[in-house]
């Protein structure tokens, strides 16, 4: 499984992390400012309240009466005013509504120490003014909550915009990647369009030039391979003709001379008849071997009788030389195949049979030929040892098969496995010619 992140994912993670850091920093600043503002507000409220009460007492108001009235009021905005008699330290402020700010926000913004002022109105009576930040914290929470919510909205909006922009910016990358994959599979006709960004447009121009160069090189390689295979076939044809005309005639003459010597009968010196028979036997074996070589160099009847007849004779020849192996040949359809295609198909099957006999040690080999109106399908199946197609590098024989079928514009598929036999399938358009 490929766990590597794509470029778009990496960019989104980076942008998300950066915006998250900015959001956290902005939240921290807002909370820190709220903490300072609440502390200042508490100091100001306590100072203002104590100054007002002291001013009232200085104006001649009865301090005890004023203290009792303030004690009855108890809780003021941001303040808790209570009356302390003697040495009692218990405040007498009434309970307040439950705060709406969450506990974490209250813990962060609440001042570390609450300011407090005491005003003595009698020897055993004091007015205590204690800061109460709960109301201010609730108000600050409402304001801060709105600001944090706005930041979250901007955070989500920026992520959405960046995601969409990245998606549009990555379209050329996806098109380039798709084009490279098609190039990898041999489609050199693919071309990239012009892009608005100059960087991608430059890449597209270089890519199109590369694809054109590869297409030209491929066509040239096809031409050279076809020319090379044609030269090989011409040399094989000429060599088969030379073997037939020169060596065949010479061997025939030698056998005729040996037969003429044997015809003299008893007039021959001792040992001469045995030598003549030995010469005739050796000449016959050489002729048979040369005839077999000629059949392999150029299949007899391929040009005159067609592909099906040549293959049937080729398989029959193998059956005669290897009677311990079962050979099956099956042809379906009318044999009307161009010689340029027929020779490549014959060489493909010839190589497949050779591999099955020499390397796979097969006991049963089946050759199927299906000739349609516009396509030729070939199948060679054996029950030999087989091989691992993923671990074993293709040899010259298999590479030659691929080259021949590729020249014909067809497809070749080789299926095999250890002790599972081998199956070779080729599909060739009948309109194809060696390019």
For residue 91, what pLDDT is reported?
52
Categorize the per-residue pLDDT at 62 as very low, low, confident or very high, splitting at 50, 70 and 90.
low
Shared domain for 312 and 350, answered yes or no, is: yes
Two tokens, residue 20: 């998250």
For residue 70, what pLDDT is reported?
57
SS3 348: helix
Q: Do residues 63 and 121 make contact, with C-beta atoms less than 8 angstroms apart? A: yes
Two tokens, residue 144: 């801060």
Shared domain for 250 and 320, answered yes or no, is: no
Average pLDDT over residues 38-62: 76
Last residue of a domain, one of 255, 273, 298: 298
Last residue of a domain, one of 259, 280, 298: 298
Shared domain for 277 and 311, answered yes or no, is: no
Categorize the per-residue pLDDT at 435 as very low, low, confident or very high, splitting at 50, 70 and 90.
very low
Bridge partner residues of 127 (DSSP): 83, 119
Whether 97 is covered by a domain: the verdict is yes
For residue 379, what pLDDT is reported?
93
Shared domain for 153 and 273, answered yes or no, is: no
Average pLDDT over residues 123-127: 75
Assess whether pLDDT exceeds 60 at residue 143. Answer: yes
SS3 58: helix
For residue 364, what pLDDT is reported?
92
Shared domain for 103 and 208, answered yes or no, is: no
Whether 176 is covered by a domain: the verdict is no
Shared domain for 93 and 223, answered yes or no, is: no
Q: What are phi and psi of 212, to 5 degrees?
A: -65, -40
Shared domain for 243 and 318, answered yes or no, is: no
- Reference 179, options 344, 354, 171, 197; nearest CA is 171
User: Is pLDDT larger for residue 240 or for residue 26?
Assistant: 26
* Contact partners, residue 255, CB within 8 Å, separation at least 6: 280, 283, 284, 287
H helix and E strand count, the chain: 12, 9
For residue 94, what pLDDT is reported?
54
Average pLDDT over residues 389-402: 67
Helix axes 171-184, 198-242, angle to 10 degrees: 10
Pairing mode, strands 364-371 and 79-85: unpaired
For residue 208, what pLDDT is reported?
92
Q: What is the pLDDT of residues 292-329, one digit of tens each?
A: 777 777 776 777 778 888 888 888 888 888 899 999 99
Rg, Å, the chain Cα set: 51
For residue 210, what pLDDT is reported?
92
Alpha-carbon distance of 367 to 353, in angstroms, equals 9
Shared domain for 293 and 324, answered yes or no, is: no
Assess whether pLDDT exceeds 60 at residue 89. Answer: no
- Reference 177, options 10, 1, 8; nearest CA is 8
Assess whether pLDDT exceeds 90 at residue 164. Answer: no
Whether 175 is covered by a domain: the verdict is no
**Number of structural domains, the chain?**
3
Whether 180 is covered by a domain: the verdict is no
Whether 135 is covered by a domain: the verdict is yes
Last residue of a domain, one of 245, 273, 298: 298
Bridge partner residues of 118 (DSSP): 128
Q: Do residues 414 and 423 make contact, with C-beta atoms less than 8 angstroms apart? A: yes
Alpha-carbon distance of 405 to 197, in angstroms, equals 42
- 27 is in which domain, residue-wise? 7-169
SS3 124: coil
How many residues can be counted in the chain? 435
Report in angstroms the alpha-carbon separations of 400 from 91, 151, 403: 102, 68, 5
* Contact partners, residue 272, CB within 8 Å, separation at least 6: 261
Shared domain for 165 and 201, answered yes or no, is: no
For residue 103, what pLDDT is reported?
83
For residue 396, what pLDDT is reported?
61
CATH number, residue 317: 3.30.565.10
User: Locate tokens 């590869």: which residue?
Assistant: 214
Average pLDDT over residues 233-256: 77
For residue 261, what pLDDT is reported?
78
Q: What is the pLDDT of residues 167-205, one digit of tens each?
A: 888 888 888 889 999 988 888 888 999 888 888 889 999
Alpha-carbon distance of 398 to 380, in angstroms, equals 13
Whether 276 is covered by a domain: the verdict is yes
Shared domain for 117 and 210, answered yes or no, is: no
Angle (nearest 5°) at CA 269 between 267 and 272: 105
Whether 174 is covered by a domain: the verdict is no
For residue 54, what pLDDT is reported?
75
Two tokens, residue 108: 């962060």
Average pLDDT over residues 369-381: 89
Shared domain for 30 and 154, answered yes or no, is: yes
Average pLDDT over residues 3-27: 81
Whether 288 is covered by a domain: the verdict is yes
- Cβ-based burial of 220 (10 A; exposed 0-12, middle 13-18, buried ≥19): exposed
SS3 125: strand
User: Locate tokens 């009235």: which residue?
Assistant: 69
Shared domain for 290 and 322, answered yes or no, is: no
Two tokens, residue 318: 């193998």
């Amino acid at each position: 499984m490929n766990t590597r992140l794509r470029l778009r994912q990496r960019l989104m993670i980076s942008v998300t992390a950066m915006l998250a850091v900015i959001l956290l920093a902005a939240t921290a600043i807002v909370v820190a400012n709220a903490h300072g503002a609440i502390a200042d507000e508490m100091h100001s409220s306590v100072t203002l309240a104590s100054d007002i009460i002291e001013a009232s007492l200085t104006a001649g108001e009865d301090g005890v009466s004023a203290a009792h009235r303030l004690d009855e009021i108890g809780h003021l905005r941001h303040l808790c005013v209570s009356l302390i008699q003697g040495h009692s330290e218990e405040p007498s402020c009434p309970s307040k509504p439950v705060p709406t700010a969450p506990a974490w926000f209250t813990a962060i913004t609440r001042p570390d120490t609450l300011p407090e002022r005491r005003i003595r109105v009698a020897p055993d009576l004091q007015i205590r003014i204690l800061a109460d930040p709960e109301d201010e914290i609730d108000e600050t929470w409402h304001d801060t909550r709105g600001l944090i919510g706005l930041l979250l909205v901007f955070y989500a909006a920026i992520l959405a915009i960046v995601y969409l922009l990245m998606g549009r910016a990555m379209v050329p990358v996806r098109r380039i990647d798709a084009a490279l994959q098609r190039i990898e599979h041999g489609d050199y006709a693919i071309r990239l369009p012009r892009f608005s960004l100059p960087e991608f447009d430059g890449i597209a121009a270089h890519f199109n030039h590369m694809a054109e160069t590869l297409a030209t090189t491929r066509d040239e390689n096809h031409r050279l391979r076809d020319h090379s295979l044609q030269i090989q076939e011409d040399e094989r044809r000429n060599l088969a003709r030379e073997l037939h005309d020169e060596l065949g005639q010479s061997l025939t003459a030698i056998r005729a001379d040996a037969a003429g010597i044997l015809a003299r009968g008893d007039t021959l010196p001792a040992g001469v008849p045995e030598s003549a028979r030995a010469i005739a036997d050796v000449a016959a074996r050489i002729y048979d071997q040369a005839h077999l070589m000629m059949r392999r160099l150029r299949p007899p009847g391929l040009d005159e009788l067609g592909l099906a007849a040549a293959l049937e004779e080729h398989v029959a020849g193998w059956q005669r030389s290897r009677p311990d192996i079962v050979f099956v040949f099956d042809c379906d359809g009318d044999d009307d195949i161009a010689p340029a295609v027929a020779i490549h198909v014959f060489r493909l099957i010839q190589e497949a049979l050779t591999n099955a006999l020499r390397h796979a040690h097969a006991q049963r080999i089946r050759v199927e030929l299906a000739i349609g109106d516009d396509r030729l399908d070939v199948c060679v199946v054996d029950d030999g040892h087989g091989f691992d197609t993923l671990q074993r590098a293709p040899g010259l024989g298999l590479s030659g098969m691929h080259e021949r079928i590729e020249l014909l514009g067809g497809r070749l598929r080789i299926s095999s496995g250890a002790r599972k036999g081998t199956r070779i399938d080729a599909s060739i358009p009948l309109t194809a010619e060696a390019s």
